[in-house]
Amino acid sequence: MNFSFNLIKTDPSGARLGTAVTPHGAFSTPVFMPVGTRASVKGVTPEALREAGAEIILANTYHLYLRPGHETIAALGGLHRFMHWDGPILTDSGGFQVWSLGKLRRIDEEGVSFASHLDGARCVLTPESVVEIQEALGSDIIMPLDECTPYPSSREYAEDSMNLTHRWAQRCKKAKKNTGQALFGIVQGGMYGDLRAASAGAITGIGFDGYAIGGLSVGEDKALMHGMAEAALPHLSAASPRYLMGVGTPEDLVWGVGAGIDMFDCVMPTRNARNGTLFTTNGKLVIKNARHERDPAPVDEGCGCYTCRNYSRAYLRHLYMAGEVLSPVLNSIHNLYYYEWLMREMRSAISQDRFGQWSKAFHEGRNAGG
């Protein structure tokens, strides 16, 4: 089965409702993808992810290439069997992780050479090898190698980096052999709106199964992030899924859906969970606060997650303060459920042509956090 995307409708606000079909099942858009960097969403079983409502998850090419290695995963039946997840998987290219290595990496026309963060061994990723690795993993959606333009960057650097990403994208498309996998193109261009528009046009011109906006949420303020995404969106194919990489907060997701974006991923639900911050319909709740010491209420009244059905704020605070391993597990289950619930609410609002009203009510309810 090949990848396909059906745009079902567009709300008057511009928010889109769709369905994507992959060899490992379908998922509805707009969608949030929990991040399972090393073939594991931290502290959460695949069964718990399904209960939370996750339909597709993300794994990281760079980390799996270094450990345990794509050949090992392929020999064990591929990434789905390896991690016991039978639904769709998107693997990113590792470009962002290589960018984060800073002085440990060198970029040239051929690709990226870097020192492994594990043992310092010299490694090389090229557009061709990134496709080869992801084909061995067997993920449903794969991403090309790109350079995540540093922030801040001069216009000259951003333009050169963007053009390199375009050349690498062409090489990735040429190298792809597995017709069952979808390959998305990635828009770059730094923090220059005209470059973002040009990149979106160039990547669409090459032709991919979907289109991602990369290189954002790297230190810029929200207004700039929104502006760069909005500069690219009109130049992306309306018939293909649009993916905003590495973003973000619940407010970011609501803004992004309203802007016409279909796919999101971020480590925020699980990272915040480990730090004792929980997302609720009224905003953030910091579980370590003393006010929760004897609070018998669940994290969020009306939440249907396993954590809220069974545990009080007092117990969750106790676990966090005591450093118990169960703390990030229960917190992550709640946060992931909240994110998936939020996406379901938005899909429902779009289907009824009321996303604009729903969005207004969402923002009005964000002022009563815990």
Distances, alpha carbon 6 to alpha carbons 10, 28, 242, 309, 359, in Å: 12, 10, 12, 35, 24
Instruction: For residue 97, name the pLDDT band (cuts at 50, 70, 90).
Output: confident
Q: Are strands 105-107 and 16-22 parallel, antiparallel or unpaired?
A: unpaired
**pLDDT-wise least confident of 23-32, 44-53, 166-175, 357-366:** 357-366
The residue type of 7 is L
Instruction: For residue 365, name the pLDDT band (cuts at 50, 70, 90).
Output: confident
* Mean pLDDT on 248-268: 97
Q: Which tens digits make up the pLDDT trace of 102-148?
A: 777 889 999 999 888 888 888 899 999 999 999 999 999 999 999 99
Give the residue numbers annotated as catalytic, written as ranges: 92, 265
Instruction: For residue 367, name the pLDDT band (cuts at 50, 70, 90).
Output: low
> Domain extents for the chain?
4-266, 273-367
The predicted structure's pLDDT at residue 370: 45
* Mean pLDDT on 164-183: 97
- Express as a percent the part of the chain with pLDDT over 70: 98
Q: Can you tell me the distance from the alpha carbon of 241 to that of 213, in angstroms, rounded to the nearest whole number?
A: 11
Q: Would you give the end-to-end CA distance of the chain in angstroms?
A: 46
- ∠ Cα 255 56 207 (to 5°): 75
Quickly tell me which residue has 């998936």 as its tokens: 340
Sign, Cα dihedral of 246, 188, 226, 88: negative
pLDDT score of 369 more than 70: no
Three-class SS of 241-282? CEEECCECCHHHHHHHHHHCCCEEECCHHHHHHHCCEEEECC
**Domain 4-266: top CATH class:** alpha beta
The predicted structure's pLDDT at residue 118: 86
Q: Can you tell me the distance from the alpha carbon of 92 to that of 177, in angstroms, rounded to the nearest whole number?
A: 17
Q: Can you tell me the distance from the alpha carbon of 348 to that of 315, in angstroms, rounded to the nearest whole number?
A: 33
Residue 97: which residues within 8 A CB-CB, separation 6 or more?
A: 60, 62, 63
The predicted structure's pLDDT at residue 96: 76
- Express as a percent the part of the chain with pLDDT over 90: 92
* Mean pLDDT on 295-306: 97
- 25 φψ region: left (φ > 0), alpha (ψ -120 to 50), beta (else): left
- The structure's pTM equals 0.97
